[in-house]
A and B are shown apart, each in its own frame.
Chain A
């Protein structure tokens, strides 16, 4: 008797506790994600161990990562453009040191390098010298790099996380790429998904429905990497030939695959919603002389609206969070998408392909976590909107 009672108590405790434990796990994951990601804003976007020095007369004291890139790519050639004096910029770093000094000048294993750098910087008013900190004399004037701001992270168009000397961490193209591929997937999956759901719930004979249903459920069980193979072998070449493209790995290929992957969610949940419309309501519509189509369009689907919308939202959720298939077929070029026939790069594909090579705790690593946080916020917003839409009813 007592053991049975104890057993019941344990089960009761488990049931009571499980909801809280699940909530706790979610909170822990979210906190972990944001904590790792937010570390990015305390770091300077400069290769580790490096420093930048300038001539003592130079008035410029701080520049951004993007400006460094522009200087190295000769898009900025004068200090005037950075708010300094009218002086031509002279880039001086390990990669062009042979232009100014011979190997002999620098001595054995660069023993004379610190001295040479000091001389060079003092002589040239327009110099910007980027070297490992250990070669830079402490008396030289250092140029500070501005920490990455949230806004520059979100709105930056360049994603070169391993660029030297200053990694470029702008994720606009990646975020837009994600939204773009998902939008394409929805344009294609929503009409087909809802259409199939209506067909299965309202029009198909029982036999046809029982035949179709297992296939649609099977679609949900195919691993995404298999979808990726399928896309790579069939869809990518097909698109390449069809639109005469240089490469077939495009946003469209990703959209088609994601659309197919979102279909089972949309179909199954929408069908359940449509099927749960009370029989009386349908009959009431028929009894007023409405035909089947009118009843579907004006009574049945509107009644099932909130269920159908939440089905679509869950489908979108799956599409946005999907990784493997898009990684394999979208081409992964981090450029702002302008058409469906160009390669794009998504948040998930970026994280999956780059996390392995990013140094743990480094700036690239933290940028990837922040990308993950942004993905979380996007899906959270979508769920929230879905909630609002369904509650409005």
Chain B
């Protein structure tokens, strides 16, 4: 059974119908890219998976998202538990105004893990997994704000990994970075998919092609096509998909 099942999902911001009848299944350890022009609903869909849209006033949702066999919009569900299981990396790096160490330890501490040895071990492991350890191991007490943009983004990934999620959501994680940092993040995603399921929103078609197993194309709130990446890019079934991936509009 798929890890994430989205069934007949509709989302409204006030009167605006932002997602229209979306159905997607995402399997464990897959990397799924969400593509489409600006305002097509791809980020909105991503943010339904960890209920980040709850924070926006006037959002209403119909349909179901089932993760690990549980409807995440069930009233009895603990949102904070869900967000531990479904981590998120944002477009702009968002380090907290704390030390590098405390940034990674934050997720542990808010989830009640305080044992020093355990925290230290997890922080080290997470930084290693995010390919940042070698660069910062001597400066763990330094402010995270002093890192470069690419380093900050990898720190945010380390921070997300530290709470041991099953799924990592990425909302255009490289759009604010230079090409070299982008490359590092892409290589990191290659590694991450061994352990996690990754859903990534991207504007960069080559990036989607390089790193994902499956790609979903959104247009005006609708899921137009969802297929294996290779197939979607090389042999799209829909006219709109074809135009978009071939760069005819966007």
Contacts and interface: CB of A to CB of B under 8 A. Distances in A.
Given A302-B98, A303-B97, A287 B92 contact: no
A290 B80 contact: yes
Given A288-B107, A288-B159, A290-B110, A302 B80 contact: no
B83 A281 contact: no
Most buried by B among A278, A287, A291: A287
A299 B110 CA distance: 11
A283 B106 CA distance: 14
B161 to A, nearest CB: 11
A290 B91 CA distance: 20
Nearest to B111: A289
Contacts of B55: 282-283, 286
Contact of A289 (B84, B90, B91, B92): B84
Interface string A185-223: 000000000000000000000100000000000000000
Contact of B110 (A206, A282, A289): A289
B97 A289 contact: no
Interface residues of B, number: 26
A163 interface: no
B163 A278 contact: no
Nearest to B87: A287
Q: Is the interface of A mostly helix, strand, loop or mixed?
A: helix
A298 interface: yes
Contacts of B109: 298
B107 A299 contact: no
Interface in B61-112: 80-81, 83-84, 87-88, 90-92, 94, 96-98, 106-107, 109-111
A383 interface: no
A284 B98 CA distance: 14
B86 to A, nearest CB: 8
Contacts of B156: 284
A303 B96 contact: yes
Contacts of A393: 97
A119 interface: no
Interface string A123-152: 000000000000000000000000000000
Contacts of A285: 96, 106, 110
B83 A286 contact: yes
B183 interface: no
B12 to A, nearest CB: 19
A96 to B, nearest CB: 72
Contacts of B90: 280, 283-284, 287
Interface in B153-195: 156, 159-160, 163
A241 B245 CA distance: 81
B111 to A, nearest CB: 6
Nearest to A284: B94
Contacts of B96: 281, 284-285, 298-299, 302-303
22 contacts: A206-B57, A278-B94, A280-B90, A280-B91, A280-B94, A284-B88, A284-B94, A286-B83, A287-B88, A288-B84, A288-B110, A288-B159, A289-B81, A289-B110, A289-B163, A290-B80, A291-B80, A298-B109, A298-B110, A302-B96, A302-B98, A303-B96
Interface of B: 50, 52, 55, 57, 80-81, 83-84, 87-88, 90-92, 94, 96-98, 106-107, 109-111, 156, 159-160, 163
